[in-house]
Amino acid sequence: MYFFTSAVHEGVDAIAPSARGELEITDAVQWLVDSGAVVRATEYRGYWKDTGRAEDVLACNRRLLEDLAPSVEGEVDSESELLGNVVVGPGARVVRSRVEGPVIVGAGSLVTDSRIGPHASIGRDCFLDRTELSNSIVLDGASISSIPGLSGSLIGRSASVGLGRAESHHSLVVGDHVRIEMTA
């Protein structure tokens, strides 16, 4: 595992693609050494997980959320219920919804008529309406509408996911700026 300062960007900018046509992190590290930068190796004893698969990213999300301290800087209406450790960021609104922590609702997001959690991270400026979401990550600017039973999903920045009718469970890995419409 590597921990870098912003100096690594200089190394990456200075190297050429390998025979595989890729920029190799080991080449960037060697460039840092050759350039006189301080490069140290040490044993890390904290939590670590390779995040090469969607399931691994979600496992890390669950682990990070377990240490979440509750905080409400946004608005939660009287018809909503927050259970457990829930963070509602500044400018975020939770309306007629049930949020079961651990959950983060990012700044500026709007959650209406939904059931969220546990283990959900919702980015900034997202819109979730009539949605059930758990064990998932929703990145900034995404919108999800009328999706029941969404779990184990990664939703990219500014993605739009909508549904008229659905089965009881869906799992998605969705890239940035994608639009998905699901029908029964």
Q: Edge-to-edge strand order for the sheet containing 110-112?
A: 75-76, 93-95, 110-112, 127-129, 143-145, 160-163, 179-182
Confidence (pTM)? 0.76
Residue 58: how many CB atoms within 10 A of its CB? 22
Kindly state the DSSP code that residue 11 receives in the 8-state scheme.
H
Q: How far apart are CA 132 and CA 134, in angstroms?
A: 7
- Written as tens digits, the pLDDT of the chain (184 aa) is 788 899 999 999 999 999 999 999 999 999 999 999 999 988 888 888 888 888 999 999 999 999 999 999 999 999 999 999 999 999 999 999 999 999 999 999 999 999 999 999 999 999 999 999 999 999 999 999 998 889 999 999 999 998 645 456 667 777 887 777 776 5
Residue ranges of the chain assigned to CATH 2.160.10.10: 65-182
User: What's the token pair of residue 139?
Assistant: 């990145």
The class that CATH gives domain 65-182 is mainly beta
